[in-house]
Amino acid sequence: MTDAGTFATIKRGLALSPELRPGLGGTIALALVQMGGRVAVPIAVQQGIDHGIRGDGGPDLQYVVGVVAVTFVALMISTLAGYLMTRRLFTVSETALGGLRSRTFRHIHDLSMLHQQSERRGTMVSRVTSDVDQISQFLQTGGVQLLLASGQLLVSTIVMFVYSWQLTIVVLLAFGPSVAIIRLFQKRLASVYAAVRERTGVMLGAVAESVVGALVIRAYGVAGRTEKRLDESISGLRSAQQKALKTSVTSFSSGEIGAGLALAAVVVVGVLIGEDGGLTVGRLTAFLFLVTLFIQPVQIATDMLNEAQNAVAGWRRVLDVLDLSPDVADPDDVGVALPVGPLSVRFDDVSFRYPGGPVVLHDVDLEIPARTKVAVVGETGSGKTTFAKLLTRLMDPAEGEVLLSGTPLTSVRFSSLRSRVVMVPQDGFLFDATVAENIRFAEPSLTDEQLTDAFAELGLKDWLDGLPGGLETPVGERGEALSVGERQLVALVRAYVADPDLLVLDEATSAVDPATEVRLQHALDTVTRGRTTVAIAHRLSTAQAADEVIVVDAGRVVQRGPHTELVQQEGSIYAKLYASWLEQTR
């Protein structure tokens, strides 16, 4: 990690968190007042010794009482300032970090499917959780200490300078080697802690495998293999941690050596300079106190450096996500609404490739009239899912244009697009909430009665009544309390209440138990009635029932037409697909 990188990150971060700026001056002013309190005591000691205890007329108790009283008041003011400062700092910084979390969360949702797929889920979650936590934790502990330490360093240097410039130079020289060592170690510290993070990742991966794969490990009797892997990753993490600690302690202890050098040098040089050099016993004593005030920040700084680097690294990762441009952007105010009524679809010479990858969809040029039911078929990897994603503008084509009722998709406002075009994805993802809440996801204003009606209209009343809590039945994490088929049922009702004009269905590949299958087909029939429907079909019964079938192979549309026609084209891809499917079901 370079210094420039660190400063650039902080600058970028401050620009993106405007909440941090107001009152920053006040916070710093309060911090300086607090610092003043810390040096008050050494000054009091000096004054007390020189004028009170070793005063010309013997110890002057009254003078000491005065000094102590003044210092006491200064100390109280400084403590109060400290409280106000930290209170203010935490409020501002936590508010800013909360804002950062929310903005990043929204930004991740705004990113195109491309980015969402290329980044792993877990990584995106850490952007709004642990990465921000790291910054918060640093600000709350190390950050304040670092701020106060730098202030303390500054103020104590000034006071030392006032007492004796010669001794100040001696102290600074004594700390020269420590500072050099700490700087030298900074790079190594960054790399050893990076190793710890990496090893932590490996360890977590191994643990996850032993938990998620427990059944397979047991069934194949290969616990030994997994145990070995766990052992290696756990030991690996431990040795990385130990190495990092050794490095960090070595760096930390250089501050101790600086302290010893400084104390020795101050006494020796101080005595040599003597009263001729403008020193007094009190001043020299105060100097020894000040040296400890000077040492503390150096030690704290070395200790907090690693935490600071973690925080900056976390901040950078968050900022990097915010820097990704959502390349499928909402035209928003300059966008238009889709024309009223059923939607037709037009693909105008559309090609698609993933960045840096081969073309996965070639020159697709077709039209789907409004209110028709179309099935897209083809083998896994043929490009049919890409077709659906382009149609719903989850991605934009590399070349060509997709138009709905003559309006280019890229010019349509998302608010209009998402309410008129709805996709039912393969896995029918459900949220960990009740059935009702999952359906209201599409249309929050619906009453329970309207929800029940929707189920009834789709012929699912008996299924709903069979649930233990009816509409209020919780569906579990990711809907896992329901079977795969039942999850699709709920997803279908959700699409139905959204009342779209273009419905895109990505059929599930996995088998559904037959009773649910019948219900699904029933419901689908009602949902698709009167709407333009594009189904990515895995079951050819869906294709059979469609008005038209589009056959995709290796990224090209190779056949089009009604099922009855296509199936008669001997030797065609569709005829083969159909023959093998027939064999399966008969």
Partner 1 sequence: MLGRGLRVLGQAIRTEPRLFTVGVVGSSVFGLLVIANSYVVGYVIGHVVVPAFSSGHAGTGELALIAAVFLGLSALRVASVFGRRLGAGFMQFRLQARYRRAVTSRYLSLPPAWHQRHATGTLLSNANSDVEAAFVPIAPLPFAVGTIVMIIAAVVALFFTDPVLALVGVTLFPALFGLNFVYSRAMSPRQIRAQRMRAKVSAVAHESFDGALVVKTMGREADESRRFGVFVTELRDALISVGRLRGLFDPLMDALPSLGTLAVLLLGAWRLESGAITVTELVTVSFLFTVLAFPVRAIGWVVAELPRSVAGWERVQAVLSATGDLSYGDKTADAEGAAELRFDRVDFRYGDGPLVLRDVSFAVPRGKTVALVGATGSGKSTIASLAVRLMDPVGGQILLDDTELPSLSEAALARAEALVPQIPFIFDDTIRGNITLDRPEISDKSVRWALDLAQAEKFVRNLPQELDTAVGERGTSLSGGQRQRITLARALAGKPRLLVLDDATSAVDPRVEADILAALRGNDAGASILVVAYRRATIALADEVVYLEQGKVVATGTHAELLAGHQGYSDLVTAYEKAERVEA
- Residues 199-218 close enough to bind partner 1 by CB under 8 A: 203-205, 207-218
Is residue 279 near partner 1 by the rule CB under 8 A?
yes
Helix 24-47 to helix 144-163 angle (10° resolution) is 40
**Binding pattern to partner 1, positions 412-431, x when CB under 8 A?**
--xx-xxx-xxx-x---xxx
Q: For residue 515, which phi and psi values (nearest 5 degrees)?
A: -60, -45
* CA 462/CA 460 separation, integer angstroms: 6
The two structure tokens encoding residue 224? 């030994």
CB atoms within 10 A of CB 518: 13
Is residue 334 near partner 1 by the rule CB under 8 A?
no
Cβ at position 472, least distance to partner 1 in Å:
19
Residues 349-378, interacting with partner 1 (CB under 8 A): none
Count, residues near partner 1 per rule CB under 8 A: 173
Among 7, 21, 29, 106, binds partner 1 (CB under 8 A): 106
Helix 121-128 to helix 130-138 angle (10° resolution) is 30
Secondary structure letter of residue 510 according to DSSP: S
**Binding pattern to partner 1, positions 376-415, x when CB under 8 A?**
---xxx----------x-x-------------------xx
Rank residues 366 and 545 by Cβ distance to partner 1 and give the closer one: 545
Is residue 6 near partner 1 by the rule CB under 8 A?
no
Is residue 226 near partner 1 by the rule CB under 8 A?
yes
Residues 176-195, interacting with partner 1 (CB under 8 A): none
Rank residues 260 and 341 by Cβ distance to partner 1 and give the closer one: 260
Q: Name the amino acid, one letter, at 351.
A: S
Is residue 170 near partner 1 by the rule CB under 8 A?
no
Residues 64-93, interacting with partner 1 (CB under 8 A): 64-65, 67-68, 71-72, 75-76, 78-83, 85-87, 89-91
CB atoms within 10 A of CB 413: 17
Residues 282-321, interacting with partner 1 (CB under 8 A): 284-285, 288-289, 292, 296
Residues 29-48, interacting with partner 1 (CB under 8 A): 34, 37-38, 40-41, 44-45, 48
Rank residues 6 and 46 by Cβ distance to partner 1 and give the closer one: 46
Of 21-29, 312-320, 529-537, 575-583: span binding partner 1 (CB under 8 A): 575-583
The two structure tokens encoding residue 248? 């960090």
Is residue 51 near partner 1 by the rule CB under 8 A?
no
Is residue 333 near partner 1 by the rule CB under 8 A?
no
Cβ at position 447, least distance to partner 1 in Å:
18
Q: For residue 368, which phi and psi values (nearest 5 degrees)?
A: -120, 115
Are 134 and 197 spatial neighbours (Cβ–Cβ below 8 Å)?
A: no
Of 163-171, 268-276, 331-339, 566-574: span binding partner 1 (CB under 8 A): 268-276
DSSP assignment string, 29-84: HHHHHHHHHHHHHHHHHHHIIIIIIS-TTS--HHHHHHHHHHHHHHHHHHHHHHHH
Is residue 95 near partner 1 by the rule CB under 8 A?
yes
Could you tell me how far CA 135 lies from the centroid of its own chain?
12
Strands 359-368 and 373-377: unpaired
Cβ at position 396, least distance to partner 1 in Å:
14
* CA 448/CA 45 separation, integer angstroms: 76
Rank residues 442 and 566 by Cβ distance to partner 1 and give the closer one: 442
The two structure tokens encoding residue 338? 């889709």
Rank residues 6 and 481 by Cβ distance to partner 1 and give the closer one: 481
Secondary structure letter of residue 337 according to DSSP: P
Question: Of 578, 158, 114, 62, nearest to 353 (Cα)?
Answer: 114
Is residue 105 near partner 1 by the rule CB under 8 A?
yes
Are 318 and 104 spatial neighbours (Cβ–Cβ below 8 Å)?
A: yes
Question: Of 159, 167, 151, nearest to 43 (Cα)?
Answer: 159
